[in-house]
A = this chain, B = another copy of it.
Amino acid sequence: MAGKEVAKQSLKVVMFLGSARENRVCTRVSKFVHEQLTRSGHDVTVIDPLEMDLPVLRQSMMFVKDWTTLPETMVKANETLVNSDTIVVISPEYNHSIPPALSNLIDHFPISSYKYKVSGIVCYSPGPYGGMRAAMQLRCLLSEIGTISVPHIFGIPHVTKALDEDGKPLNEHMESGARKLITQLGWYSEALKAKKEKDGVPS
């Protein structure tokens, strides 16, 4: 049954950037993944902690009664998130854990905006292990908010040797790694989307 020819759907992907650090390598990684997702026919919107410029979490949107008091960018970003099919996180590790810029961004939005969606983890590091330590924490975080991560993690070791500043791949593993992730994102996202359209979600 595998490999049956089907028209692939275009997914609405929200891409969370995981760094607000100066001179962040995150830019090149997100450029590369953005390009790969677009080439696969998907529609990508970036949510960037540097642009959002949120404070360290005082209160999730979930607990704010009057959303007119919130920054418009936040309300708009949440709308995009609600309407999305799929979430992709582009994550470095800070001290080999989830960067606060990323968890802070994720935690600001209501859990209901994430539920019954699919996520993909892209992680990277300047050194040999590709950010896998942070990825293990992200698996848990993403599951807990109801946007389960697909099995394949796309980890990029020695990231500055793997991608140039414009996000152009410098070795042959980049495109195959991205493709594997994108294939899984497509399959799982289509599965959940069809289910939602047919039956809604559990109350």
Contact = CB atoms under 8 A, between A and B. Distances in A.
A150 interface: yes
A88 to B, nearest CB: 16
Contacts of A166: none
A21 to B, nearest CB: 6
A29 B195 CA distance: 31
B56 A22 contact: no
A98 interface: yes
B56 A55 contact: yes
Chain A contact residues (Cβ within 8 angstroms of B): what range?
35 or more
Contact of A59 (B21, B54, B139): B21
A95 B100 contact: no
The oligomer's copy count stands at 4
A20 B57 contact: yes
Quick one: which of A106, A143, A191 has the most chain B CB within 10 A? A143
A155 B145 CA distance: 17
Interface in A15-53: 20-22, 49
Contacts of A101: 56-57
Interface in A80-110: 94-101, 103-104, 106-107
B157 A20 contact: no
A73 B145 CA distance: 35
Nearest to A100: B104
Contacts of A71: none
A96 B137 contact: no
